[in-house]
Amino acid sequence: MFLFSFVLSAQNLKPIELNEDWLNKISDLVPETAKEPGSAEKQILIFSLHTGYEHWTIPHTAAVMEILVDKIESYNSVTSFDIQEFQMENLKKYDAVILNNNCSKRDKRNLFWDVLSQNKSLSKEQAEKQANAMENNLLEYVRSGGGLIVLHGGITMQNKSDAFSELVGGSFDYHPKQQNIKVELVDADHPLLSAFEGKGFEHIDEPYFFNNAYFDYDFRPLLYMDANSLTDLREPVEDNIKYISWIKRYGNGRVFYSSLSHNAQSYDNSGLLKFLSDGMRYAAGELACDDAPMGKP
């Protein structure tokens, strides 16, 4: 039995307007979360810049994450499109960073380079040096105890970087066409999956497949899909269990990845909203749970 299901098909699921009625509907689905005893205020950066493919849900996702932050007592958010946030002195202002569908251009798959290379006052070498420094700042920020939440296409931000792949837990490989996905829970008793009340759900999305560091399985998987139930695959798969959300430690920091969702309609699912909220609280260091990596099978 599935907790939630769309009545629309992938073929007629269209972009929806981001308006006050929609925002109010989402807000009504999110319960208030009381402050943990003794916890300090948390500052969350919602980074929403893209330089490559533009997901139409970028503004919707930013708005949803702002709502989730507002619903957690003592949490505050800043939404930004400025890569200068990745200067170390700026990163240190935040307890967690959300990467919201930050797809980079296909040639280099490096969002920092995409921006800096347009600065005519910088040479190619200077742009590359600064781009590398910003990526290293993000790695060091998480390694030193910061939190990272990566949503859907945010995993492609530095998609050719082995270091970024290790940080996030994998790199984007490809996705077949949008279709209905039966999302299953890896461990229904895991605290981060309590939102789903022990049940999987149906979900229209781009089924993401991953490579590079993904195959180290240096993460604690949360959600998965059965690749054998999908259509339009690039090639047959031997391992049909494909993880689409996980958590992991990186140094002293914490990472939460969710490939959901390509469509704002997905946020009508109150369970998914709570799941994202709990994932953010995990990354910010306020929700303790088992994040031991599964390791290679």
Domain ranges of the chain: 20-283
Q: State the pLDDT at residue 38.
A: 66
- Tell me the three-class secondary structure of 205-245, residue by residue: ECCCEEEHHHHHCCCEEEEEEEHHHCCCCCCCCCCCEEEEE
Q: What is the model's pTM?
A: 0.95
Place of tokens 């997905």: 266
* Residues 225, 228, 232: CA angle, nearest 5 degrees: 100
Reference 260, options 271, 248, 249; nearest CA is: 271
CATH superfamily membership of 20-283: Class I glutamine amidotransferase (GATase) domain (3.40.50.880)
Over residues 30-82, the pLDDT tens digits come to: 988 876 666 789 999 999 999 999 999 999 999 999 999 999 989 999 999 99
Sign of the alpha-carbon dihedral angle for 160, 163, 164, 170: positive
Within the chain, where are the H helices?
Answer: 20-29, 58-71, 88-91, 111-116, 124-143, 162-168, 270-283
Provide the pLDDT confidence category of residue 12 given band limits of 50, 70 and 90. low
pLDDT greater than 90 at residue 238: no
Provide the pLDDT confidence category of residue 9 given band limits of 50, 70 and 90. low
pLDDT greater than 70 at residue 3: no
